[in-house]
Amino acid sequence: MDAAMMKTILEIDALRSLDTTSVNSTDGDSLFAEIFSEILAQTQASDNVESALLKAIDNFSEENGLNDEVKNYLSNYLLSNPNPYITKAYEKVINNAGSATESVGASATATDAKYLDIVKKASARFGVPEKLILAVIKQESNFNPNAVSSAGATGLMQLMPGTAKYLGVSNLKDPEQNIMGGTKYLRQMLDQFNNNFELALAAYNAGPGNVKKYGGIPPFKETQNYVKKVLTYYKNM
């Protein structure tokens, strides 16, 4: 173990010993952000980043619980700073860190649970939070891979044929192709609108041109309701 790694672990252990009985969720988020920033500053090798992050989460959650603020902090960090090593660590957190697993897994019904593996794969590939992908699927098709709208949008993430072709999706009703294509498109919308969930979702629903035209969520009742519903699903998962 190198000196930087040892220093990080000692600092995390010191933070763990702090009296956190009065820390609320917002303060917990701030404390975790400090721990996380310190890890990135003190670790260089990919395996050190991954192991230090997992250790920090273990220590932090014993005192504060792995609350939604921490999970959202990690998700938002990855959206702004895509990094394969941090993504790998975050995947382990979601898969193995108790409450985080429950947050995504417990929201899956018998109908949609079979798509979780694909969602996890899409999340890792494109850096989009699993919960956001699941929330979009819930709103778009209610997890029906054969859903077709009156406008011709098809599949779990309701891709239009032209968009699907652009994304390289050949079979709109194939769950893996549809989720991968839809997540790729959602990633593109997040990139266009500075990782703003509301604007990215509005663009997914009404097209990026309309979001730019109106300088925000377009004044379409359907789109406004769409954004609200998806974000509600996202927050409740």
Phi, psi of 151 (to 5 degrees): -90, -10
Measure the CA dihedral 148/216/185/93, to 10°. -110
Write out the catalytic residue numbers: 140
148 SS3 class: strand
Q: Residue 26 burial by CB count (10 A; 0-12/13-18/19+): exposed, middle or buried?
A: exposed
In angstroms, the CA 101 to CA 130 distance is 11
154 SS3 class: strand
In angstroms, the CA 202 to CA 103 distance is 25
Of 171, 167, 202, 160, nearest in space to 181 by CA? 167
